Structure 1
Amino acid sequence: MTDPTPPQPTGFGGDGYFERFWDNIELLQKGNHTLGINTFTSPNSVTKLSELAGLINGLHDRIRVEYWLVSQYRPIGRPNERKAAIYNYDRQSFDEAATQAHQRLNKEIAFYAQPTRSEDEPYPLRLWLFADGRLSIETGSVTTTENPIIGNVLNLPFQHLYEQATNQHTRFNIRART
């Protein structure tokens, strides 16, 4: 078993970030919860993934961590120069850092690495299911203030809503994956 308070990675969060993080973990522990970790990377933070894997291993000693998803910036229909300046870096650097982090990660934790898409890769069908049952579709449009609600899975079968979302995906002129 590792130290109950793993070392804090450098270059992540602000003052007090990890203190609040560990307080929240204690709360989740009491509720016997399972965690999934999603990490978006930048050119600086990608160099810290192996260190972050150590923190997640320590976290897994305290509470079950089911998976860790590491993502490189992925233009999803809303790319802009500001985001590109912050997040863009080469895919090889991401792949190498993700491989090193995966090698260090506890093998009980599923690991997923999601590198950036190429310019010609289609925009994925992205559905968002809210806790109250509402299902929305991400349009990828920068002009919409919110994603449209397709319906509610508590009132309509998911299959029906999925078909409706697929039709809207095409209507928003987003290339569907085949």
Structure 2
Amino acid sequence: MKKEFKTEIIETKQPIKLYSIIFGILYLLANFYLFLYNKENQNIYLKYLSLIILLFGAYYIFGESFKKPKVVGVFKISEKYISINLDRIENKIGINEIESIFLKYMGYGSLTTHSIYGNKNYLKILKKNGENYNFEILLRDKKMKNEFKNVLNNIEINEKFNFTKINNSKTEF
């Protein structure tokens, strides 16, 4: 039985920390103004501004999981080689050329996780010649996770494979 796994290599945008801090402070101030400040002394314009800030906050809290990640390539692993296709350039790496494979596991996608499109899992491949590859792969559902796990349980790959479960992951690998 030939074991093979294929998924997308993705790129996610990281929020700018300064904007996140500023917006977090504004969100706290808007909550304080709307719910704790004396309602008789509230300015109507500040009240509407606070409501708008709360609505933007709700969008960013709940709307982020509906954003589709940007696909930048394809990752394929089989018993004999690993294929990394980035920007229409395909790199094939033989299993015997690999020193180690490391996965930071966050889980797979579902309605109860952060993204409905699949969770982003970070993969690092280190070749024996010192060359390494770092990228994010997408695991869409439990079936896809199990296919990936079955390929990694191959004897040649399994001894080179290691993973870390990130703290907020709700599922076991």
TM range (shorter): under 0.3
Greater C-alpha radius of gyration: 2
TM-score, scaled relative to structure 2: 0.22
TM-score (norm 1): 0.22
Higher relative contact order (CA 8 A, sep 6+): 2
Structure that is richer in strand per residue: 2
